[in-house]
Amino acid sequence: MKQKNKFLFIIIVFTFFYFMPFSSSKILNALMESLLMAQDYARQHVLLCLIPAFFIAGAIANFISQENVIKYFGAGANKFLSYTVASVSGTILAVCSCTVLPLFAGIYKRGAGIGPATAFLYSGPAINVLAIILTARVLGFELGLARAIGAIIFSVIIGLSMHFIFIEDEKKKNLNANKNLTIGKVEQEDRPLWQTTFYFAIMIGILIFANWGKDESIKIWQIIYNFKWFITGILLIILSWIVIKWFKKEERIQWVKSSWGFAIQILPLLLGGVLVAGFLLGRPGSEALIPKIWIENLVGGNSLWSNLFASVVGALMYFATLTEIPILQGLLGEGMGKGPALALLLAGPALSLPNMLVIRSIMGTKKTLVFIFLVVVMATFSGMLFGNFF
């Protein structure tokens, strides 16, 4: 770190500790909330949810052929398939958030065009496997599912809208398009599809059963709950057997390395997000720095205004991977409506001020503005719809 920066850092830290009213009970309370929220996460979500999720993400990054997916984005590909694949492939391709932008640029400039490209741009970050898993776990199954479904459906709608709004430009562009997209020579070992499917099914099973909740009202649910560790144990044994029998040593090492890579990349950010969310918003049921009444007024209930406000804020704010979840947890705990929460989840990951600038450098200002407009409208609309029924 340069000397000038070190000096600045010391000044900032000193000023912080000099002026912060630590004896104020409000601040103390906010600090406690921040620490308690972090403890909640450590106790409830890390072991049973995040760790399996990291392994699943690592497996996706290593064992699913990206090449096979990308061929659907070529200019010559069947349009219906391009859109469908664009809307769901975020689970496979967007596991590393930085891959979304280059891929979007590629599809837009040299591949299937603005429709599938914007569909992917929207759904990719939104449908990130880790985010969906943690959303379902922390914010509730309905919100997790709504997020996934909303991302898929609206990505297709947005993609198609962009395509038709800009159809003239699209027709002019096809001169440069490649029929096939190269991504260099990617060596892939061919594993029978059923093995890969089974492997993923077992991992997802472990995730589901380890997190099986208690629900005394439904008999079969409760029976499974009583046996959940037994079932999880068996699945773990099957997984170990699969991993030893069907995978080469190098593949196992790569898998663990990728999973570790995700953990290292994401855990610090998540911790930061949780501490900040806890400090500003507090855990569900408690109040921290930001008064509950502000949240209720701005994004409470399910009005058009709340949903719109949540969408716009989501679109502008930058959320590092997964940090939207503790922030939303805090907001929901302070009176945010479920509708606006979904609106924020749908508009948040896809857009942020810095990333709008990059998109603009690829698509141009006009198209970027239309895209942002469509995202905010779709997010607001789905928020209101969801808020109405849940």
Partner 1 sequence: MKIEILGTGCPKCKKLAELTEEAVNELGVSAEIFKVTDIHKIIDYGVMVTPALVIDGDVKVAGKIPSKVEIINWIEEINI
- Chain mean position to CA 117: 18
Taking the complex as a whole, how short is the minimal distance between the CB of residue 124 and partner 1, in angstroms?
A: 12
Taking the complex as a whole, how short is the minimal distance between the CB of residue 82 and partner 1, in angstroms?
A: 14
Q: Which two tokens stand for residue 359?
A: 């998109």
Q: Which is nearer to partner 1, 70 or 372 (CB)?
A: 70
Q: Which is nearer to partner 1, 166 or 262 (CB)?
A: 262
Helix 129-139 / helix 141-165 crossing angle, nearest 10 deg: 140
Taking the complex as a whole, how short is the minimal distance between the CB of residue 361 and partner 1, in angstroms?
A: 7
Q: Tell me which H or E stretch contains 53.
A: helix 51-63
d(CA 31, CA 276) in angstroms, rounded, equals: 9
Taking the complex as a whole, how short is the minimal distance between the CB of residue 263 and partner 1, in angstroms?
A: 12
Q: Which two tokens stand for residue 221?
A: 């649910």
250 Cβ contact list (under 8 Å, min separation 6): none
CB 31 within 8 Å of CB 279? yes
Q: Which is nearer to partner 1, 167 or 264 (CB)?
A: 264
Q: Which is nearer to partner 1, 112 or 372 (CB)?
A: 112
> How long is the chain?
390
CA dihedral (196, 256, 207, 86) in degrees, to 10, reads: -60
169 Cβ contact list (under 8 Å, min separation 6): 114
- Nearest Cα neighbor of 133 from 144, 117, 147 is 144
CA dihedral (373, 379, 385, 387) in degrees, to 10, reads: -130
Helices (H), 166-291: 167-173, 193-210, 219-246, 249-281
Q: Which is nearer to partner 1, 268 or 291 (CB)?
A: 268
Q: Which is nearer to partner 1, 91 or 302 (CB)?
A: 91
- Nearest Cα neighbor of 321 from 143, 187, 133 is 133
Q: Which is nearer to partner 1, 12 or 186 (CB)?
A: 186
Q: Which is nearer to partner 1, 105 or 336 (CB)?
A: 105
For the beta carbon of residue 201, count every other beta carbon within 10 angstroms: 11
Taking the complex as a whole, how short is the minimal distance between the CB of residue 80 and partner 1, in angstroms?
A: 21
Taking the complex as a whole, how short is the minimal distance between the CB of residue 86 and partner 1, in angstroms?
A: 13
Q: Which is nearer to partner 1, 67 or 296 (CB)?
A: 67
| Burial of 209: CB neighbours in 10 Å, binned 0-12, 13-18, 19+ | buried
Taking the complex as a whole, how short is the minimal distance between the CB of residue 324 and partner 1, in angstroms?
A: 19
d(CA 52, CA 31) in angstroms, rounded, equals: 30
Taking the complex as a whole, how short is the minimal distance between the CB of residue 65 and partner 1, in angstroms?
A: 10
Binding site for partner 1 (CB under 8 A): 61-62, 66-67, 70, 73, 93, 96-99, 101-103, 105-107, 109-111, 178, 181-186, 261, 265, 358, 361-362
Taking the complex as a whole, how short is the minimal distance between the CB of residue 91 and partner 1, in angstroms?
A: 15
